Amino acid sequence: MSFRIEEKLFITNESLLDFKSFLNKQHAKKLYDSRVVQSLYFENLNYDIFKDSLEGIVPRKKIRIRNYPLDKKKIYFFETKISSVEGRFKKKRQLNIDEIKKYKNYGIYDAQYGVCYPKLYVSFLREYYLIDDNLRLTIDKDIKFQKYNTNYTKSDNNIIVELKAPMKVDTDLIAKKFSMKKTRFSKYCNGIELLKIDIK
């Protein structure tokens, strides 16, 4: 199990070019080509995952099926993203078609949250960068939300920057490089709120 530090920043469309210029000065290397990411998030009947995320309770999880719709290889992953007092980590495994159908039809059982059902699609365009060989940075834009099993969609004009680093990295170093205001932000929670999905 490998814990990591995660920080999130908001930037506007107007400041994106300036931010990329800043990345160049930090000698950021582009890790991969940009690609569309799609996640199907699961939730229990009481929306406890949503509530725990809003309140910042730990430990908490996000449970999702993730894929990359424009990739030639149609590969799907089951991911559990866990936030704890020690840090954050992600468990991930590849899914087959039968598993995807089963989870969509009958839900996924989680020891903390019980049976969780598909609620929300989140998709976005992601860019990947590496700084100083140990600080990964992604830029997410064109964020879209869709309520599961409906055509009801909403868009989010925010651009989200995520910083990810091993726990051994000096957090003061991150703060010096990125003096912008950090924020707690969840695409899943934002999608639930924008789509006005009823919370019990």
What are the 10-residue block averages of pLDDT along the chain, 200 residues in total? 78 88 91 96 97 94 97 95 89 97 98 98 97 90 97 93 81 65 84 86
Residue recorded with tokens 């950021």: 28
Q: What is the pLDDT of residue 11?
A: 84
Residue range 4-194, CATH number: 3.20.100.30
Long-range contacts of range 122-126, CB-CB < 8 Å, 24 or more positions apart? 122/38, 122/39, 122/41, 122/187, 122/188, 122/191, 123/36, 123/37, 123/38, 123/39, 123/69, 124/36, 124/37, 124/160, 124/187, 125/34, 125/35, 125/36, 125/37, 126/34, 126/35, 126/36, 126/37
Q: Using the 8-state DSSP alphabet, how is residue 181 labeled?
A: P
Predicted local distance difference test score (pLDDT) of residue 133: 84
In the numeric block, which tokens belong to residue 13?
């469309």
Domain parsing of the chain, residue ranges: 4-194
Q: What was the pLDDT predicted at 61?
A: 97
Token pair belonging to 48: 């406890």
Residue 159 β-bridge partners: 11
pLDDT of 198 reads 77
